[in-house]
Amino acid sequence: MDREIRAVHVGLGPMGLRVVQHVLAERKGIRYVGAVDVDPRLEGKDLGEIAGLASPAGVKVTGDASAVFEQTRPDIAIYTTVSPLKAFLPQTEVALRNGVNVISTCEELAFPSFVDADMTSRYDELCKLHGVSMLGTGINPGFLMDLRASLLSAACTDVQRIEITRRMDATPRRQPFQKKIGAGMDADEYRKAIESGAITGHVGLEMSICLIADALGWELEEVRVTGPEPVVAEKQVSSEYFTVARGQVKGTEQEAIGIVGGESKIRLSFSAFLGATPSFDEVVIVGTPEVRARVSPCWHGDYGTVAMSVNLIPAVINARPGLLTINDIVPVSFKAGNLGGFVAQGA
């Protein structure tokens, strides 16, 4: 019997509010029964009001996650809180112990065992103990630079190497994003901002490398990440907010490589800069057949992450218990080695 999915939202920062707006205004079949945030200023406010919607949601925000889960026993908790796994997982205990499935945009949750295998194992056990599933999802990591390539590889009889490029044009993006990628800075100034942590790069390339290797059955020896590095303008380029002179920084780039059997088998290249036209998301599979798959213009990341964290909810609810990755949900890819992924039943 199909019925409405009952959800609790945890974390009402910018990404959380985007998800809440989407669910409240545009989705059927899912209903919020609770909302949690640590900010005391939100306590008691209506979720629809916080999300800037015209009509109230009939759900009050609280800081008391435990009470919400105990009283509402939802099907799913949507967490949009923090990126680091070690800060994230303890937040979910209250959901898991109340038998609530968890979906989250936490980037490191996309492939948690790379970050902390012991902690991942403990939370996997906790999920199983309470019969619930937990998944980290999003557009990147979680889709553009991993799942999409793994799925394409399923129609290949051989895969030698995978190369993925995400090249974003920052020109139409909001001012804070352009600032974050260093637009208008001098290269030295940019490097200092990276060193000091004032500017941070894209989080998740390591997760994407791990997801691809795991899907294909490649044993990763090493994951190397370089950058963020400045992309310097060769000629003047400008946006609504910045004018970047020749020689100044127009954006940022990062690269990640996955080493398997001593070879660079997976290469991810991420860049975002002003004037990056055409922008694109490209997957190249060096194999049989050779595959060149390009989404252009590049996928809008914010829509993508909101979409994934809602569209995947039924799959998470129906999945086997455990701390899962997207490869558990989508077991379709080229299988190197021994057709990895087959576990003999009762063998």
Query: Should residue 211 be labelled a site residue for a copy of itself when binding is judged by CB under 8 A?
Result: no
When computed from its CA atoms, the radius of gyration of the chain, rounded to whole angstroms, is 21
Q: What is the DSSP letter of 106?
A: -
Shortest reach from residue 25's CB to a copy of itself, in Å = 10
Please state, in angstroms and rounded to a whole number, the distance separating the CA atoms of residues 323 and 284. 30
CA angle 295, 158, 294 (to 5 degrees): 5
Which of left, alpha, beta for 339 (phi over 0: left; psi -120 to 50: alpha)? left
Q: Please pick, from the candidates 77, 223, 272, 306, the single residue that binds a copy of itself as defined by CB under 8 A.
A: 306
Query: Should residue 3 be labelled a site residue for a copy of itself when binding is judged by CB under 8 A?
Result: yes
Query: Should residue 17 be labelled a site residue for a copy of itself when binding is judged by CB under 8 A?
Result: no
Please state, in angstroms and rounded to a whole number, the distance separating the CA atoms of residues 114 and 7. 29
3-state secondary structure of 246: coil
3-state secondary structure of 111: coil
Shortest reach from residue 185's CB to a copy of itself, in Å = 29
Query: Should residue 79 be labelled a site residue for a copy of itself when binding is judged by CB under 8 A?
Result: no
Please state, in angstroms and rounded to a whole number, the distance separating the CA atoms of residues 193 and 327. 36
Q: Please pick, from the candidates 51, 199, 310, 324, the single residue that binds a copy of itself as defined by CB under 8 A.
A: 310
Query: Should residue 1 be labelled a site residue for a copy of itself when binding is judged by CB under 8 A?
Result: yes
Contact 75, 315 (CB under 8 A): no
Shortest reach from residue 48's CB to a copy of itself, in Å = 18
Q: Which is nearer to a copy of itself, 3 or 41 (CB)?
A: 3
Q: Which is nearer to a copy of itself, 246 or 294 (CB)?
A: 294
Shortest reach from residue 223's CB to a copy of itself, in Å = 24
Residues in the chain: 347
Query: Should residue 14 be labelled a site residue for a copy of itself when binding is judged by CB under 8 A?
Result: no
Query: Should residue 45 be labelled a site residue for a copy of itself when binding is judged by CB under 8 A?
Result: no
Contact 178, 239 (CB under 8 A): yes
Shortest reach from residue 131's CB to a copy of itself, in Å = 9
Q: Please pick, from the candidates 109, 268, 313, 324, the single residue that binds a copy of itself as defined by CB under 8 A.
A: 313
Shortest reach from residue 320's CB to a copy of itself, in Å = 10
Please state, in angstroms and rounded to a whole number, the distance separating the CA atoms of residues 206 and 210. 6
Query: Should residue 172 be labelled a site residue for a copy of itself when binding is judged by CB under 8 A?
Result: no
- Picking from 90, 88, 72, 71, the residue whose alpha carbon sits closest to that of residue 80 is 88
Give the footprint of a copy of itself on this chain (CB under 8 A): 1-5, 22, 26-30, 75, 139, 143-144, 147-148, 151-158, 288-289, 291-297, 299-300, 303-304, 306-308, 310-315, 317-318, 326, 329-335, 337-345, 347
